[in-house]
Structure 1
Amino acid sequence: MSKSNKYRFGTKAIHAGVEPDSATGAIMTPIYQTSTYVQSSPGEHKGYDYSRSQNPTREALEKSIAALENADYGHCFASGLAAIDAVIKTLKPGDEVISTNDLYGGTYRIFTQIFQDFGIHFHFIDMLEASNIEKHITEKTKLIWVETPTNPMMNIIDIKTAANIAKKSNVLLCVDNTFSTPYLQNPLDLGADLVMHSLTKYIAGHSDVIMGALATNNKELSEKLAFIQKASGAVPGPQDCFLVLRGIKTLHLRMQRHCENGAGVANFLKSHPKVDKVFWPGFKSHPNHDIASRQMHDFGGMISFSLKENSVAAATEILKKFELFTLAESLGGVESLSGHPATMTHASIPKAERDKIGLSDSLIRLSVGVEDLEDLIQDLKQALS
């Protein structure tokens, strides 16, 4: 059975990268739980010599990720941050990176507290107007880092405009596509050079795996990333790769429900008297809603909202009362989760920087799961009452 890109997304999610096991005919990719492989003579083997370099289960997953992002090459890593780490390792001291000023706290931390000490310089700018990127580019700029929708303010950045600027300046563009997944958005099709995922989130989808991935159509860049993957060794194990492959098979079905429930929750929150602002790109009033409508297939299940009583205490009271929106780090699982970015996911970002982007003390982030919408609305009602 061919697994080429002639198929639509749901079919690719089930079949891409996966072949029946040649030894047994098993329809599910086996878990090749092995560290090494027998060689018939020195240097002669069946394509695998050591599992840090290659593993058949990981290889199947990498092919699947590539197919979902309409990419030629995919690479999987031990976490989303390990994938980011690999991207920045393609740079050298003196290089500069332009990043959005609203992004995941872990990304900000690895940029500013790890790589900045090695002489790589990071500039965090407002990208709501993507054309704003151009004036910050210098001869030292080597990478533009985009998150869209952003975490946690749900800002939308125009990927196509950012890609045109990057190409004109001979700069690489990497898009963190974690919130959207390939089901909702394909940055490579819009001109990006590289797409990054925390597979931990929606793609694995069941809150039982930590993993990251990169996908690209750039052969030279892929070769660099493969070398870093092998040399630095931050690779996922075959058991986790199997779990992500299994999660991918229902990605399209889960994302449909996440989007439906997300819309229902966003509209409920918008009309609640205790809620100040709701951040969700599906609203026509949302900044760059028109761009989201063009570059996304739907608006996802991630929502942030602030309270009229703007305090950590007010947010904490509500978070403690939730029954279904479980208070926990992470997102993208089948179960609904809630979080307080100022003290959890974005605590590593200084308060002054959080204030600049509107990340208030009362901001609550919801990862809307696939439960029955009526039950989720009832949980919000009782927590906000």
Structure 2
Amino acid sequence: MKFNTKTIHGGQEHEVAYGAVMPPIYQTSTYAQTTPGGHKGYEYSRSQNPTRHALEKAFASIENGDYGLAFGSGLAAIDAVMKLLKPGDEVISTNDLYGGSYRLFTKIFEGFGIKFHFIGMQNAANIEKYINKNTKLIWVETPTNPMMTIIDIKATSVIAKKHNILLAVDNTFATPYLQQPLELGADLVMHSATKYLGGHSDVVMGALIVKDKSLADKLYFIQNASGAICGPQDSFLVLRGIKTLHIRMQRHCENGKAVALFLKKHPKIENVYWPGFEDHPNHDIAKSQMKDFGGMISFTTKGNNYKDAIKIVENLEIFTLAESLGGVESLSGHPASMTHASIPKEEREKTGVVDSLIRLSVGIEDIDDLITDLKQALK
């Protein structure tokens, strides 16, 4: 089954009782038993719910995994991964990553005795010098948030396997339509399903996908024991969103390319960060591991002026100034004061997250309207 078909049918079955094409929303907390332990596969909705189960099978299908897990948020999914570790373990992480991930790692799990190394991974060989007997996990974002840095998943997986270390990839920006990390050697894929998988800015959710059964069993145990699950209504919404992922991503990519090219030529723009440019660092790797280059773009204005950046995002009309990304509507954001405010200024500026940086999530509106909006805001 090819990807475009998987988004609609992958892992799905028609409902048994009445043949419903879409999985019903099983809005229930518990299930009747004929005798203690005698049930039809479901006993309590924290452990399993038929609507969530249908979504988890869809997650596994579109990422070419065998097991999917749905959580109450992307951070809840990352939290579950971190709970695979114990005090004294070490994690090597991308240095340019989502501020919420950085906050979870440093403010929560460092306090539990886990050590994190935040490093540049543009050259995968750089990872090896940070590996020691305590290293248990490599955490990768690619493209990264918000600098669109590209990391070679296949090369990183070779290093991880050589040292018997888990490799986890945050695939939120690329989505499985553009990139499939498990096929490139990753052990685990994470998504903020709030973003492109849901696609309509109406739900908060996280996802994990793996191939290995023993790893899946550990994560299912953590999911059930910790209880950070999503509800059936949210499961239904994301399952519905996945069914149009392929056609939405096509338009996100088309519009993203047009916006990136417009910004690149604009006299007031200093830098544009988009993996589709031939001079973007690791462009060739992006070309080899991604189907297209996505709808996420970051840029700075000439002079790197904070006030200019704020003025631009405040004056955009079709691009909504808001947190998040990946919805059908175009969004703009100021990472230094919004998504990455939890990262200390000196740390975020090392990776390029300066006060003048603007991040765009290019939606699926008419491209002429989006360009016109950018023109008037930049004026």
- Shorter-chain TM-score bucket reads over 0.9
Hey, what's the Cα distance between the residues in 1 that align with 2:165 and 2:292? Answer: 29
Gaps of 5+ in 2: none
Match among 307, 310, 313 for residue 304 of structure 2: 310
Post-superposition offset of 1:158: 0.2
Which residue is equivalent to 2:139? 145
Q: Deviations over 1:170-224 (max 9, x none)?
A: 0000000000000000000000000000000000000000000000011111001
Match among 178, 182, 186 for residue 176 of structure 2: 182
Query: Which runs of 4 or more aligned residues in structure 1 lie more than 6 Å from their structure 2 counterparts after TM superposition?
Result: none
Which residue is equivalent to 2:89? 95
Give the letter for the 1:295 counterpart: Q
Q: Deviations over 1:315-358 (max 9, x none)?
A: 01001110011000000000000000000000000010111111
Which residue is equivalent to 2:236? 242
Q: Deviations over 1:24-60 (max 9, x none)?
A: 1111110000000000000110000000001000000
Which residue is equivalent to 1:195? 189
Which residue is equivalent to 2:158? 164
* Residues 1:262 and 2:256 are matched in the alignment: yes
Which residue is equivalent to 1:3? none
| Residues 258-297 of structure 1 aligned to structure 2 (within 5 Å) | 258-297=252-291
Hey, what's the Cα distance between the residues in 2 that align with 1:25 and 1:157? Answer: 44
Which residue is equivalent to 1:110? 104
SS in 2 for 1:111: helix
Hey, what's the Cα distance between the residues in 2 that align with 1:200 and 1:17? Answer: 20
Post-superposition offset of 1:21: 1.1
CA RMSD across the alignment: 0.5
Which residue is equivalent to 2:199? 205
Which residue is equivalent to 2:36? 42
Hey, what's the Cα distance between the residues in 2 that align with 1:27 and 1:372? Answer: 32
Hey, what's the Cα distance between the residues in 2 that align with 1:131 and 1:281? Answer: 21
Match among 337, 350, 353 for residue 359 of structure 1: 353
Hey, what's the Cα distance between the residues in 1 that align with 2:150 and 2:179? Answer: 12
Give the letter for the 2:128 counterpart: E
Give the letter for the 1:161 counterpart: A
Hey, what's the Cα distance between the residues in 1 that align with 2:142 and 2:64? Answer: 18
Match among 216, 219, 238 for residue 222 of structure 1: 216
Count residues in correspondence.
Answer: 379
Hey, what's the Cα distance between the residues in 2 that align with 1:146 and 1:297? Answer: 19
Hey, what's the Cα distance between the residues in 1 that align with 2:241 and 2:293? Answer: 21
Q: Deviations over 1:34-93 (max 9, x none)?
A: 000000000110000000001000000000000000001001100000000000000000
Match among 337, 342, 345 for residue 348 of structure 1: 342
Hey, what's the Cα distance between the residues in 1 that align with 2:76 and 2:103? Answer: 13
Give the letter for the 2:265 counterpart: S
Post-superposition offset of 1:311: 2.4
Which residue is equivalent to 1:4? none
Hey, what's the Cα distance between the residues in 2 that align with 1:86 and 1:170? Answer: 20
TM-score calculated relative to the size of structure 1: 0.98
SS in 1 for 2:81: helix
Identity %: 72
